[in-house]
Amino acid sequence: MHHKYVIRDRAGVWTGSTNWTDDSWTREENVIVTVESPGLAARYLDDFEQLWSKRRVLGSGRVASGRIRVGAISVRPWFCPGRGDKLAHRIARAIGGARRRVRIASPVISSGPILGTLAQVASDGHVDLAGVVDLTQVQEVLRQWHESGNAEWKAPLLRAALTRAPFSGKVSTPYAPGSVHDYMHAKVTVADDRVFLGSFNLSHSGETNAENVLEIASAPLADRLAAFVDDVRGRYAPVEI
């Protein structure tokens, strides 16, 4: 159960990547968005009630994902696991269809559709692509793929995506009981003037977790979050894997 959202008075939504922990506010990079919209709040309430009434992740997230107008802006909510596969393909299509820029902040990248498209875009070099990951977690994912064998086909794609475009990696503290949590924890994709943000890592497991993402068509927001990604990646060294 990976959500981090609040519905207030059936009128507004607070969501993003931030867990409500001390480390999240002080040691991690995160993104939060607030939206005043009864229509959007109703979608989030649908998701909450599915989890609350059934007490299980499986079967939740079956919520309408159609567009909602918030003023002049188009907002589209996505929930997993109900829409996990469609969300992964939606983000992949946005990345593959971008003509000017792609910016990504995600602790790990392991979703097959996203990873394949990202590796292709990075290799083509036709789009201004850059991003930031949590290098400690990426290296752990590569070790897991190698040990399991059944997902090691993804490793060349991940290396191509992260080394053929300017990606930086934060060396965080490995998870252990009682350790600090200082991960690069933001989950943002910017494709031209379209933004995807929420609790969803660009990971295969995220497709089956309880997750939420807002797809927002807004040039000013895309500019702001692209600048955020560039600021975060500027803090860390280029990825070498």
Q: What is the pLDDT of residue 197?
A: 98
Q: How far apart are CA 169 and CA 166, in angstroms?
A: 10
Taking every pair of Cα atoms in the chain, the longest distance, rounded to a whole number of angstroms, is: 50
Q: How far apart are CA 221 and CA 230, in angstroms?
A: 14
**Right CATH for 5-233 from 2.60.120.200, 3.30.9.10, 3.30.870.10, 3.10.28.10:** 3.30.870.10
**pLDDT for 48-74, tens place per residue?**
999 999 999 999 999 999 999 999 999
For the question of whether the overall pTM of this predicted structure is more than 0.85, the answer is: yes
3-class secondary-structure state, position 48: helix
Residues in the chain: 241
Which token pair is 68?
């909602």
**For the chain, what are the domain ranges?**
5-233
pLDDT at 219 over 90: yes
Contact status, residue 183 vs residue 171, Cβ threshold 8 Å: no
**pLDDT for 170-208, tens place per residue?**
999 999 999 999 999 999 999 999 999 999 999 999 999
Across the chain, mean pLDDT equals 97
* Per-residue pLDDT band at 23 (split at 50, 70, 90): very high
Contacts of 91 (CB under 8 A, 6+ apart): 111, 113, 114, 189, 191, 196, 202
